[in-house]
Amino acid sequence: MRNIAENVRSENMIPVVRARLAIVLQREGLRVTEIAAALNTTPAAVVQYLKGKRGRLVGRPAQLDRTIEALAERILQRVRSGVREGVRMPELMEAADQLIIASKGSKMLEETTPKNNRQIVDVLRQRLELELKASERCLESAVKFDDQYSKLLLRMIAADSMRHADVVSQIISWTELPREPTLNVPKKEFLDAILQIEDKAGEQSLKDTVKISHPIARLLLEWIDTDEKKHERIISKMVRIIQTSA
């Protein structure tokens, strides 16, 4: 058995995600062989998941149900539309990440505020709580919409909120260190290569180029364009940090 509050890596949480998905998919009427195909695993492994012999989890945080339901819905949509593609590894990793971040964040909110940097930590904890709540509510709402674009937009907001929560949680942990972490950034050559990719991706605005009538779809394309600009700006600043610290 694994407690979700333990310090585990995302790949070690994947059996937990698969086990919960197997239970949901069986509840929706899928046979063991269909579940195995949907989860890219074997029927024998599915039986182990359903019997609780693999991927067991101590405790059941609310974020677990929200994350699994959102992912299960996507899988079911593929199965029922005849798409012969199981769950993707990035999807499993994202779900595992969200569970770990939510668990760590919830645990951090329960801990006593350290005396050092109390004001900073209090501000960060307030933001952490809001990000976790936003993610949970967006995932909860996403499964209730029939419109697929709206579902996707809510899932993207939820994923962004979880990433924000991860950053805030990490910075809270760093405030408790006796000294600042050592500056260790990627090499300039690597950042320059990534910057070239981002420049190329941002040359053409998807929102302006791709003509689509659905208003939420246009918002999603605008989101991508905005992210490309953000990536370019942040990477450029990282390059300047390297040049300044050299």
Q: CB count, 10 Å around CB of 223?
A: 17
Q: What is the pLDDT of residues 43-53, one digit of tens each?
A: 999 999 999 88
pLDDT of residue 107: 80
Contact 86, 37 (CB under 8 A): yes
In a shared domain, residues 140 and 196 = no
> Quick one: 25 and 91 in the same domain?
yes
**pLDDT tens, position by position, 184-197:** 888 889 999 998 99
> Do 170 and 190 reside in the same domain of the chain?
no
Residue 229: pLDDT band with limits 50, 70, 90:
very high
Q: Which of residues 181, 203, 233 is at a domain's end?
A: 181
- The last residue of one of the domains, among 143, 160, 181, is 181
Q: Which helix (H) or strand (E) holds 58?
A: strand 57-58
Q: What total of structural domains would you count in the chain?
A: 2
Tens of pLDDT, residue by residue over 110-125, are 777 666 678 888 999 9
Whole-number pLDDT of residue 43: 95
Shared-domain flag, residues 26 and 55: yes
Domain termination site, one of 128, 153, 181:
181
Same domain assignment for residues 177 and 189: no
Asked whether residue 140 carries a pLDDT value surpassing 90, the answer given is no
Does residue 107 sit in the same domain as residue 119?
yes
Q: Indicate if the pLDDT at residue 139 is higher than 90.
A: no
- How many angstroms separate the CA atoms of 51 and 26, rounded? 12
pLDDT of residue 70: 86
Supply 39's token pair.
Answer: 């989860």
Boundaries of domain holding 15: 2-181
| Residue 68 sits in the same domain as residue 8 | yes
Round to the nearest angstrom and report the end-to-end CA distance of the chain.
48
| Pair 214, 96 in one domain | no
Going by pLDDT thresholds of 50, 70 and 90, the confidence category of residue 1 is very low
Whether residue 134 sits in one domain with residue 40: yes
- Looking at the structure, tell me whether residues 139 and 214 fall in a common domain: no
Neighbours of 16 (CB within 10 A): 23
Same domain for 137 and 211?
no
pLDDT digits 0-9 by tens, 3-39: 444 445 667 788 989 999 999 999 999 999 999 999 9
- Tell me the pLDDT band of 131, cut-offs 50, 70 and 90: very high
Query: Is the domain of 202 the same as that of 241?
Result: yes
Read off φ and ψ for residue 213, nearest 5 degrees: -80, -30
